[in-house]
Amino acid sequence: MMNSKKNAFYAQSGGVTAVINASACGVIETAAKSKKIDKVLCGENGILGALNENLIDTSKESKTTIAKLKNTPGGAFGSCRFKLQDPIKQKKEYERLFEVFAAHDIGFFFYNGGGDSQDTTFKVSEMAKKLKFPLQCIGIPKTVDNDLPYTDCSPGFGSVAKYVATSTLEAGLDVKSMAETSTKVFILEVMGRHAGWIAAASCLAASNQGDPPHIILLPEIPFEKNKFIARVKETVKKHGYCVIVASEGTKTKAGKFLADSGLTDAFGHKQLGGVAPVISSMISKIGLKNHWAVADYLQRSARHIASKTDLDQAYAVGAQAVKLAVAGKTAVMPVIKRLSDTPYKWQIGTAPLKNIANIEKSVPRKFISKDGFAVTSAGRRYLNPLIQGEAPTSFKHGMPEVALLKKSFVKKKLKKF
Amino acid sequence: MMNSKKNAFYAQSGGVTAVINASACGVIETAAKSKKIDKVLCGENGILGALNENLIDTSKESKTTIAKLKNTPGGAFGSCRFKLQDPIKQKKEYERLFEVFAAHDIGFFFYNGGGDSQDTTFKVSEMAKKLKFPLQCIGIPKTVDNDLPYTDCSPGFGSVAKYVATSTLEAGLDVKSMAETSTKVFILEVMGRHAGWIAAASCLAASNQGDPPHIILLPEIPFEKNKFIARVKETVKKHGYCVIVASEGTKTKAGKFLADSGLTDAFGHKQLGGVAPVISSMISKIGLKNHWAVADYLQRSARHIASKTDLDQAYAVGAQAVKLAVAGKTAVMPVIKRLSDTPYKWQIGTAPLKNIANIEKSVPRKFISKDGFAVTSAGRRYLNPLIQGEAPTSFKHGMPEVALLKKSFVKKKLKKF
């Protein structure tokens, strides 16, 4: 009897998250139950794994290891920042891809990433159509930035939101207790170069009037130094301290990033980024002792304080991607649809991949207070459900237990690319 | 019948920790069971609360709220960075203290802080002796820096150690997955101006050869740029990526802090600190894409990832302080005594407060590898038990639940100081 099963290709792309491996787990576990999918072969380092024929055979991993992916931050199979060339101008990369897919009997293509990555998924699907190559191409959404269109929220965001809100609450209590004789202002820099969703999520730290964060700086609102400094002074006068959460993408009216405001080191070399030290410098000038933190990768890898809602959604989009592919769909992406805020109800919908890279969802004005420094109740209503629920990881010897993959590579059948 | 009970004064001093309130809880709950202690009155903002007669009556708080102190980071009663003047040269402050103690029938003095704060406790005890004022003065150890003498470890350290090790593990997985096409080096800056215990604790993230952190920078080991850069290059070549954990106090042979290496902003103003951006700048110059994080207050307030061992010890020293005071002891401090590494066994001992401020315990050379970039197995053996066990907090609406104190102030009896 002929084996009608085909292998599936799965890869991770772009900046990773605390829960992207939960999507991988959703793909692998669901594919294992499918009558149409044989093995899930994962590209090492995203699409590069396909180009270089570096394919990790997940059937060689134990079920326990695959389940542990849900507890493992980062991209377990390696991710990449690599854009395929334009298929019209330069077909070589695409031809190679299909050569690899043919050699390894791949009939399903799952690409787990943000807007740019889904543009790749779309281009692969177009090429498959053109070549009459039977390949179901499904995007799996992921980004901590929460800026993907068509989906109510992006898997990966809820966990960074929970991390940032928790850290704001905790550090807020710290600075509050120091403020009388020491640190009066604390600045936390978070990710978000173009959209301020992560900084906005810090609003969830506050449960009472006057609670931190006192000032949120978003890329959506032009930074005005005088207005900002006045608000810092006012806050310290009123509450004794001031907690600021700043998006890395905070910029002036002229569109100049604060982080690029020209720090130079002792050798006159331009110093890279960090909006927090720039703001700290401003605040030191008005004589207020301050401290600053830059969460950077800590925020997007903090699986230990992941949101259960986010983890569930990340798994669900992975699982649904397989179902869509098996049902013959292509050039689509499962998305999160919100059915209600309170109680929070969601389900999985489907969105087309076409044009996905051209739409970036920033924080709508109605979610931002009139003065630009806070989040409105409409914003809180949107954000709050996304951090609900805890998803504790297992610990061993005091440390989180993560999946240790064997990474058994499929035997190469082709020449080096 | 005459009431033979006396009130107790408790206050928090210096930089706060994720578990200092657990010590407060230990004091309050144990005092409640004592036949010699009436109320525990907490100084608002440390010793300032005594000087200004701002005393919070903990008997007005519910038992549930007091129990929740164990879940609450920061200093719930406010801390201070304030050194009493020398009692020989300037007696005014000490006279005021005893005036307040007399007015509020205080017979027990508990001061929760680091070396400098315990020097204060000692001075208060000396003055009490001199004035023949019946006051049992007990220090309660606390510092994230782990540099207190006489004690095997300092309450507060184990939790920051667990946070830093967990963050290193998580961010390490992140950068590992990005390294092929993007970020190759990640730098995490942690606290520790004079002692590198916190940076050293990041070694616990590694469970296998080659695991992050690949380089640890300690104040104990003079920073040599060429040697460091060579090691970074070597590590990237070998593992594909490099994770560095740097103490804020990393300094050159000449004793110059790297963080003070002269960053200036666009206006020519000197930019404050951050060893991570300075190292990032060095690494960018050799053409390696890198990211950096500064944990700052996030690390010392991260109650959500506290060590159960640390939490238990913080509570125990608070409880024991009360027992020592009630037993008539003064000018002492309960300390942690290690009985064995594996299995980890500890008990509470007692140390004198005299001279405590003059001894700072740095990381011993035998805990540091020959090349100065790693922690030896002896170091791991010491550090490992301190992060054991998890102490999950309760969550409400997706956020950690913390104690919300009523802060009922005792009616003032004296004139303003």
How confident is the model over B113-123, as pLDDT tens digits?
Answer: 999 999 999 99
Residues of B with Cβ-Cβ distance to A170 under 8 angstroms: 18, 73-74, 298, 301-304, 400
Taking an 8 Å cut-off on Cβ atoms, the answer to whether B297 and A384 are in contact is no
Between A91 and B68, the more confident residue is B68
Three-class DSSP category at A39: strand
For the ranges B199-208, B255-264, B315-324, B392-401, the lowest mean pLDDT is seen at B255-264
pLDDT confidence band for A3 (50 / 70 / 90): low
Do B177 and A389 lie within an 8 Å CB cutoff?
Answer: no
For residues B106 and B99, give the distance between their C-alpha atoms in angstroms, rounded to a whole number: 10
CA distance to partner chain B, nearest, from residue A261 (Å):
6
Give the pLDDT confidence score for residue A268 in this predicted structure.
56
Instruction: For residue A73, list chain B residues with Cβ-Cβ distance below 8 A.
Output: 170, 173-174
pLDDT in tens, A196-206: 999 999 999 99
Q: What is the pLDDT of residues A385-415, one digit of tens each?
A: 999 999 999 999 999 999 999 999 999 999 9
- The pLDDT of residue A260 is 82
Q: What is the pLDDT of residue A90?
A: 83
| Amino acid B273: pLDDT | 64
pLDDT, residue B167, reads: 98
Q: CA of B104, closest CA in chain A: separation in Å?
A: 23
- Which of B72, B77, B261 is closest, CB to CB, to A265? B261
pLDDT value of position B264: 59
Least CA distance to A260: which residue of chain B?
Answer: B266
**Predicted local distance difference test score (pLDDT) of residue B2:** 52
Region B25-30: mean pLDDT is 98
Q: Annotated catalytic sites of B, by residue?
A: 145
Say whether pLDDT at B269 is over 60: no
pLDDT score, position A251: 95
What residues of A are annotated to the active site?
145
The answer to whether the CB atoms of B178 and A73 lie below 8 A apart is no
- Which chain B residues are Cβ-neighbours of A77 within 8 angstroms? 177
For residue B344, the chain A residue with the least C-alpha distance is A397
Average pLDDT, chain A: 95
pLDDT in tens, A98-132: 999 999 999 999 999 999 999 999 999 999 999 99
B349 in Cβ contact with B334 (< 8 Å)? yes
Q: For chain A, report the end-to-end CA distance as a whole number of angstroms.
A: 34
Contact A75 B178 (CB under 8 A): yes
Instruction: Give the per-residue pLDDT at A380.
Output: 98
Contact by Cβ (8 Å): B169, A302: no
Strand order of the β-sheet with A242-247 is A215-217, A242-247, A185-190, A290-294, B290-294, B185-190, B242-247, B215-217
pLDDT of A62 reads: 98
Taking the CA atoms of residue A220, residue A312, residue A72 and residue B215 in that order, the dihedral angle to the nearest 10 degrees is 20
Is residue B1's pLDDT more than 70?
no
For residue B250, which of B295, B288, B199 has the smallest C-alpha distance?
Answer: B199
pLDDT band for position A264 (cuts 50, 70, 90): low
Q: What is the band of A367 on the pLDDT scale with cuts at 50, 70, 90?
A: very high
What are the chain A neighbours of B167 within 8 Å (beta carbons)? 298, 301-302
Among the partner-chain residues A277, A300, A395, the one whose CB lies closest to the CB of B274 is A277
- What residues in A contact B169, CB-CB < 8 Å? 399-400, 402
- Write down the pLDDT at residue B411: 98
Alpha helices (H) in B111-246, listed in sequence order? 115-131, 157-178, 197-201, 225-239
Best A178, A189, A263, A388 residue to mutate vs chain B (most B CBs within 10 Å): A178
Q: How confident is the model at residue B395 (pLDDT cuts 50, 70, 90)?
A: very high
Check A302 against B81: CB less than 8 A apart: no
Dihedral pair phi/psi, residue B187, rounded to 5°: -120, 125
Nearest to A384 by CA among A394, A372, A396, A376: A376
Residue-wise pLDDT for B156-181, tens only, equals 999 999 999 999 999 999 999 999 99
Does the pLDDT at position A263 exceed 80? Answer: no
Q: Do B261 and A266 touch (CB under 8 A)?
A: yes
B271 vs A292: CB contact, 8 Å cut-off?
Answer: no
Confidence of residue A262 (pLDDT cuts 50, 70, 90): low
At A1 the pLDDT is 45
Are the Cβ atoms of B170 and A262 closer than 8 angstroms? no
Mean predicted confidence (pLDDT) in A266-285: 77
Q: Which residues of B touch A305 (CB under 8 A)?
A: 304-305
- Under the banding of pLDDT at 50, 70 and 90, the label for residue A160 is very high
Q: Is the pTM of this model over 0.95?
A: yes
Pairs across A and B, CB distance < 8 A: 249
How far are the Cα atoms of B16, B19, B67, B75, B383 from residue B309, in angstroms, in the given order? 18, 11, 17, 20, 12
DSSP state, B150?
Answer: S
